[in-house]
Amino acid sequence: MSETVFKGFGDKALPFLKALDFHQNREWFLENKDLFEAHLYEPLGDLVDDLIVRFEKAGLPFKGDRKKSQFRIKRDTRFAKDKSPYNRHLSALLSPDGSKWSESGCFYVCVGLEEYRGCYAAVAFWQGKPELLLAMRKAIVAKPEKYRAMVKALASNGLELRDIDRLKRTPRGFEEVTDADLIEALRNRHFMVRHTIEPARITSPELADDLFDFALRAKPLIDWGRAIQGTLPA
> Per residue in 165-180, pLDDT tens?
899 999 999 999 999 9
Are the beta carbons of 133 and 165 closer than 8 angstroms? no
- Give the pLDDT score at 4: 61
For the segment(s) 13-229, the CATH number from 1.10.150, 3.30.930, 2.60.60, 1.10.10 is: 3.30.930
> Per residue in 9-47, pLDDT tens?
999 999 999 999 999 999 999 999 999 999 999 999 999
> Per residue in 204-227, pLDDT tens?
999 999 999 999 999 999 999 999
Question: Whole-angstrom Cα distance, residue 140 to residue 69?
Answer: 32
Question: Whole-angstrom Cα distance, residue 37 to residue 9?
Answer: 10
pLDDT of 67 above 80:
yes
Q: Residue 22 pairs with which residues in a beta bridge?
A: none
The most distant pair of C-alpha atoms in the chain lies apart, rounded to whole Å, by 60
DSSP state of 110: E
Are the beta carbons of 17 and 113 closer than 8 angstroms? yes
What radius of gyration, in Å, describes the C-alpha atoms of the chain?
A: 19
Pinpoint the alpha helices (H) of the chain: 13-23, 26-31, 33-36, 42-58, 130-142, 144-156, 180-186, 207-217, 219-229
> Which of 76-80, 106-110, 146-150, 199-203 shows the lowest per-residue confidence on average (mean pLDDT)?
76-80
Question: Against a cut of 0.85, is the pTM above it?
Answer: yes
Neighbours of 58 (CB within 10 A): 12
Each domain of the chain, given as residue ranges in start order, spans 13-229
